[in-house]
């Protein structure tokens, strides 16, 4: 999850700068939508949630076969 932490940090910073300091319905919805944020990948644009799944699968495969090739997205 750490490769994606800056995306969450950015959203929280935007909330703070807009004086949204309480975790209400609107703020929670805004943070939850991060999974739908588009990311650039080797095979095109994919939502962040899909990128997390691909990363987890590639990590499992890397550990299983000893070939360390993680599938990480590019910039959002």
Write down the domain spans for the chain: 2-65
Tokens 């300091």 sit on residue: 21
pLDDT (0 to 100) of residue 61: 95
CA of 32: how far to CAs of 14, 35, 69, 74, in Å?
14, 7, 29, 21
Q: Are 71 and 57 in contact (CB under 8 A)?
A: yes
Instruction: Write out residues in the chain with pLDDT < 50, as ranges.
Output: none
Tokens 């095979």 sit on residue: 43
pLDDT (0 to 100) of residue 44: 92
Q: At what angle do helices 25-32 and 5-17 cross, to 10 degrees?
A: 150
Q: What is the pTM of this model?
A: 0.78
pLDDT (0 to 100) of residue 74: 85
Please name the residue ranges forming H helices in 1-76. 5-17, 25-32, 48-65
pLDDT (0 to 100) of residue 57: 95
């Amino acid at each position: 999850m750490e490769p994606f932490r800056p995306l969450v940090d950015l959203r929280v910073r935007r909330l703070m700068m807009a004086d949204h300091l309480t975790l209400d319905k609107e703020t929670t919805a805004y943070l939850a939508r991060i999974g739908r944020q588009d990311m650039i990948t080797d095979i095109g644009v994919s939502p962040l949630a899909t990128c997390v799944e691909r990363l987890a699968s590639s990590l499992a495969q890397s550990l299983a076969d000893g070939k360390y090739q993680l599938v990480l997205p590019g910039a959002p």
